[in-house]
Amino acid sequence: MMDAYIQISDLHKTYHTHNGSLNVLKGINLTVHKGEIFGIIGFSGAGKSTLARCINRLEVPDSGSIRVGGVDILSLSKKELLLERRKIGMIFQTFNLFEAKTVYRNIAYPLEISRVPQNEIRRRVLETAELVGLMDKLNAYPGGLSGGQKQRVGIARALVSNPDLLLSDEATSALDPQTTLQILDLLKQINRTTGITILMITHELDAIRYTCDRMAVLEDGQIIETGSVRDIFNNPLSRTGSIFARVYTEFQRASEENGSGI
């Protein structure tokens, strides 16, 4: 039996906007094991990003509980939360790099704000840059990088402080298929070598199928299916699951007919 690394129970979140309130998460229950790559799939607006943002408390849920590695995220003080966030890396669809800083300084930033000594920063940055394949770009600014390179910087910035958990919110959705594959390979490799737990949020079935061990289907603020990737692909119980699976098989047939294949 594996450890439950992330444990979310009965999580609710409502956004209050000027045109009424929006019930985005409606009682989420989720368990992610240590060291696995867990996928969450769902249509646009299902609440995937909101769920991810609750895990490092970028968004404060209304009720429920979130435990990450035994830490009760929602009861942390402000100061404790800042320290806890440094143990949870996050990567984004839009990369969100700091354009005023070189690649080196982007990767170094998480260590700089934690007052790590300069020589230790240097060692860690070079190590991480090596891992993601950015050694030749350290002095470049993000503005001059390709999408794939930008996401490598994002990954390096998320990994440099040796987090135990990586939250990936549509990290490959802005990339072309070939670059997507490279980034997914990189995530898999990092997961294998460091044992980091990865929560991968996406609407790309391919990405989940290629990368994840287990997955959950999120529909309209609720987890409607959880299980191994293989089971959900072969026997989707939920509507979203079956739609995704059907779309996926059709998509694959079409791409095989066109001889392009992904």
Partner 1 sequence: MSLLDTPLWEVIKGSFAPEIWQRLKPAIGETLYMVTLSSIIMLVLGLFLGILLTVTNPDGLIPMKILYTGSGWVINCLRSLPQMIMIILMIPVARLFFGKSYGVNACIIAIAASCIPMYARLVESSLLEIAKGKVEAARSIGSTNIQIIFRILIPETAPSLIRGFTVAVIAVISMTALAGMFGAGGIGDIAVRFGYQRFQHDVLFATVYILIILVQLVQWIGNFASKQILKKRNLI
CB of 97 to partner 1, least distance (A): 8
Q: What would the x/- binding string for ligand ATP be over residues 175 to 214, using CB under 6 A?
A: ----------------------------x-----------
- Is the CB of 20 or the CB of 261 nearer to ligand ATP? 20
CA angle 197, 223, 190 (to 5 degrees): 15
Residue 106 interacts with Mg ion (CB under 5 A)? Answer: no
Instruction: Pick the piece of the chain touching Mg ion (CB under 5 A) from 4-12, 49-57, 110-118, 248-256.
Output: 49-57
State the residue number with the nearest CB to ligand ATP.
Answer: 49
Nearest CA-CA partner of 26 in 46, 41, 7, 11: 11
Contact predicate 74/61, CB 8 Å: yes
Under DSSP, is residue 58 helix (H, G, I), strand (E, B) or coil?
coil
What is the closest distance, in whole angstroms, from the C-beta atom of residue 240 to Mg ion in the complex? 15
Concatenate the DSSP letters of all residues of 59-109 into one string: S--SEEEEEETTEEGGG--HHHHHHHHTTEEEEETT----TTS-HHHHHHH
Which stretches within the chain are classed as H helix?
Answer: 48-55, 78-85, 103-112, 118-132, 147-159, 177-194, 205-211, 229-234, 239-257
Structure-token match 């059907």, residue found: 246
Under the binding rule (CB under 6 A), the answer on residue 168 touching ligand ATP is no
Residue 193's nearest CA partner among 223, 162, 218, 148 is 162
Q: Is 50 in the site for ligand ATP (CB under 6 A)?
A: yes
Does 46 contact ligand ATP by CB under 6 A? yes
Tell me if 129 contacts ligand ATP by CB under 6 A: no
When asked if residue 41 is in the footprint of ligand ATP (CB under 6 A), the reply is no
Task: Pick out residues in 18-37 that bind ligand ATP (CB under 6 A).
Answer: 22, 24
What the block records as the tokens of 40 is: 């969450």
- Does residue 187 belong to the site contacting partner 1 (CB under 8 A)? no
Site membership for partner 1, residue 100 (CB under 8 A): yes
By CB under 5 A, name the binding residues for Mg ion.
49
By CB under 8 A, name the binding residues for partner 1.
56, 58, 82-86, 88-90, 92, 94-101, 109-110, 112-114, 140-144, 157, 167
